[in-house]
Structure 1
Amino acid sequence: MEQRSVTLPNNLRVLLHRMPSMATVSVCFYVLSGARDESPNQAGAAHMLEHMLFRGSEAFSEEDIRRAMRETGSDMNAFTAWEGTCIYARMLPEYFGSLFPVLADMVRHPKLNAADYEVERSVVQEELARQLDEPRSVMLHELHRLSFDDRIGGILIGSKEQIRDLELQELRAFHRSHYVPDNTLVIITGAYEEKQIDEALTSLEDWRPGADGLLSEAVRQKRSMGGSIAGPEKRTSKLMAPLFRKGAGIWGWRLPPLQGADHYAAHLLCTLLGDDNTLGSRFETVLVRARIAEQANAVYTSFSGGGMLKIYGTFPAEQEEKVQGIVMDELRRLHEGKGNPGELRRAKNKIKTQLAVDASTTDSRMISMAQAWLPGREMVPLQEVLERIDALTDRQLTKLAGRLLAEPPFRVIAGPPEHAKLS
């Protein structure tokens, strides 16, 4: 596997992974600004802009973009996160030369006209409505509201009022400020030829940097973790609504910045407790198979300036205290070094297997390269990631579990109106 990184004179960073055995090429423009970087007047702009990119650019109309995808059988999509926005495509190698300019112009020169904007505003309002009909999504929004007092304490795509009030001029301003080469990461994976890469990168050399130099670092340094930690009396919220047909809970802990080994230890801890695939995890044994909870899993989300570890479960109404007690007992067992000697090895193998699966297609490899680059702003080859995971020790998990036990979690408890209550 051939991996390398390039930085152009305009500070555009490019990560390359040539995979000759693959049948496709994938490319993404990962803008290092997301919903968290919006000003008060721009709430919802990052996600709205993601939608508007597909409405056409200076050189390519919306129909041109659709036709290019349709006639080549290629895939194109995008997503917005708190600290990044990604637009990406997967194609056969022979179409890279014609599709890369389309993707680049969508990112650099979107039309952003008023008629398209009104259509997309309605589309995003419908997307928000779907989120507010999904119990876990509603609970996650509430957890963020409890845990953070800056933009990250709101809804990532914006509230109904924020989407309604967002002006097109603010969308244009967000694009002008953040969609610049020194705030963008380009990743290309798959069966490309070096000549194709040379031509693609040459076409980006006239992309002008942001006015503040290396913008992404300035953005990163201005980020905080949303103010001070709330007191215990403000850490709990209950939601009672017909939407919640059964009991559920989310427990969340804010963590300081985790880099290097500590960053990987947080993901390992979640896998050990129970990620989205809980097979063989502690939560599967003590909660799901014990028929105390229907599901329970843990996930770590990394932010600049810190991160958050979240545990989510569904269970019979009024059982939240029992479930939380078992969760805390498992953290104490980890902190005390109690556990099966083989479970750490199995959790490591599970993560490494998933990374290997991610490397088996060009699009998933492209996204995993971005995820590996973001914590330390460095290119980390797949083999090095695997070695870092192998090097993790029980002591690192013990230390992390101790951080979680040091203070009570933020928690959101939900259930149907006639059952949900707090003790």
Structure 2
Amino acid sequence: MRDADGQVTSTIRRTVLPSGLRVISEQMAGVRSAAIGVWVGVGSRDESASLHGCSHFLEHLLFKGTRERSALDISIALDAVGGEFNAFTAKEYTCFHARVLDEDLPLAVDVLGDMITASLLSEDDVEAERDVILDEIAMHDDDPDDVVHNLFAEQAWGPDTPLGRGIAGTAESIAALSRAQVARFYRKHYRAANMVVSAAGSVDHAALVDQVRAAFGREGFLDGEEAPVPPRSGAVARRVHPGTVTASRPFEQVNVVLGMQGVPRDDDRRFALGVLNTALGGGTSSRLFQEVRERRGLAYSVYSFASHHADSGLVGVAVGCLPSKLDDVLDVVRAELRRVAAEGISEEELSRGKGQLRGGLVLGLEDSGSRMSRIGKAELVHDELLSIDEVMARIEAVTLDDVRSVAAQVFGRREILAVVGPS
């Protein structure tokens, strides 16, 4: 990338080790921080029914200690230098990440390498963390937004499919998981060729590669030669299941998600869909916010979304309203979706949608953590890494016809409706 004066402001470099472990970094000028992430190509959609929640369970367990460090040692190591340290599990990948001062990056690399390659997964830790995860599941069950989105995914993909099941698992599946099952899952998926180490900020790539070799060389983890695991295939489009599903909960509001099948992660239509999504429900000036909240006062919260997987995606509208207003809310949302499918959006909405996407993209990449996530995810799940300028150009190239076409294709599909609230 170059700034307004034509000076290089960031440099991306990539190295593939013989074991298949990929190391990618982005050097950013003028920063004193560094962010690092270890991206593993396994998520909840890789679980069988008997392993439901295993990816998330394993994410927790890797913080519990190694031969060199106890769980407390792991926490102290990053806390002592003021670092930020966390992890998350998604449908198609898991990420462990840290953000530190640039001088402390070698420490962060070593801690992450130790955790990833040499976790003990002791029986005692499995039992202790099982209760923590059961508490987390209970917490999500008390959040109406979490409940309705999980219900929506379950209806869309099917309750007996990996994509349709919740990431954290259920109380029953977590209670049934054994230490042996988790350990086998760990050995199968946590392989060098199935991982990407990404870093951004004040980073020297050659030094980073050396640090990764040392930190991830424990337990013979980098022994042998293997090609990197390619991105998850999306060659066969996955279909969704239209229909309505409801759940009774003692909430004050009714929470609703109404949506349809969207587009896969690498579909070229995603840029037009992004502009459409922003114009439809991406901010306070969007159609849905203005129509549902400002003009009619039907709901406090209303927004649209688009989610993407390797082989399919979802689009939808989420609303929280009083039970007495549910029918009116659904009428208005359906009418707006039909109108957009038939007419597209206006020139002014197109311009505003592009501006919001461009601004969100650039502002979201002001810090090293966002840059690290961008290049890490691109390396793990995409076939290409588009530069910021290339992404901006693709957004700018979206036309009214592009938006009208994708709106007709997506919003013309049969709907999926999830409703959660008082009976």
TM-score where L is the length of structure 1: 0.89
- The reply to whether residue 80 of structure 1 matches residue 89 of structure 2 is yes
Q: Which residue is 2:275 aligned to? A: 268
Residues 8-17 or 126-135, more deviating: 8-17
Pick the aligned partner of 1:395 from 392, 401, 411: 401
Please give the alpha-carbon distance, in whole angstroms, between the structure 2 residues aligned to 1:321 and 1:46.
39
- The reply to whether residue 124 of structure 1 matches residue 124 of structure 2 is no
Aligned partners of 1:247 and 1:315 also within 8 Å: yes
Please give the alpha-carbon distance, in whole angstroms, between the structure 2 residues aligned to 1:324 and 1:102.
50
Aligned partners of 1:177 and 1:210 also within 8 Å: no
Deviation for aligned residue 1:362: 0.8
CA 134–309 in structure 1, closer or farther in 2 if over 3 Å, else same: same
Pick the aligned partner of 2:145 from 111, 136, 141: 136
Equivalences for residues 123-272 of structure 1 within 5 A: 123-149=132-158, 150-203=161-214, 204=216, 207-208=221-222, 214-217=228-231, 220-221=232-233, 229-230=240-241, 235-242=243-250, 244-272=251-279
- The reply to whether residue 322 of structure 1 matches residue 328 of structure 2 is yes
Provide, for residues 73-93 of structure 1, a one-character-per-residue CA deviation record: whole Å limited to 9, x for no partner. 111100000001000000111
Q: Which residue is 1:408 aligned to? A: 414
Provide, for residues 28-51 of structure 1, a one-character-per-residue CA deviation record: whole Å limited to 9, x for no partner. 001111011012321111001110
Q: What residue ranges of structure 2 are gaps of 5+ in the alignment?
A: 1-9
Counting matched residue pairs gives 408
- The reply to whether residue 282 of structure 1 matches residue 287 of structure 2 is yes
Deviation for aligned residue 1:17: 0.9
Aligned partners of 2:65 and 2:71 also within 8 Å: yes
Deviation for aligned residue 1:169: 0.9
TM-score where L is the length of structure 2: 0.89
Please give the alpha-carbon distance, in whole angstroms, between the structure 1 residues aligned to 2:76 and 2:253.
46
Equivalences for residues 26-45 of structure 1 within 5 A: 26-45=35-54
Please give the alpha-carbon distance, in whole angstroms, between the structure 2 residues aligned to 1:182 and 1:394.
42
CA 229–18 in structure 1, closer or farther in 2 if over 3 Å, else same: closer
Q: What residue ranges of structure 1 are gaps of 5+ in the alignment?
A: 418-423
Aligned-partner SS, 2:63 = helix
Deviation for aligned residue 1:401: 1.3
CA 194–303 in structure 1, closer or farther in 2 if over 3 Å, else same: closer
Provide, for residues 345-376 of structure 1, a one-character-per-residue CA deviation record: whole Å limited to 9, x for no partner. 11111122122122211112222334555653
Aligned partners of 1:247 and 1:318 also within 8 Å: no
Deviation for aligned residue 1:143: 1.2
Aligned-partner SS, 2:382 = coil
Aligned partners of 1:260 and 1:376 also within 8 Å: no
Provide, for residues 140-161 of structure 1, a one-character-per-residue CA deviation record: whole Å limited to 9, x for no partner. 1211221113122122110000
Equivalences for residues 90-129 of structure 1 within 5 A: 90-129=99-138
Pick the aligned partner of 1:353 from 348, 352, 359: 359
Aligned partners of 1:302 and 1:375 also within 8 Å: no
- The reply to whether residue 50 of structure 1 matches residue 59 of structure 2 is yes
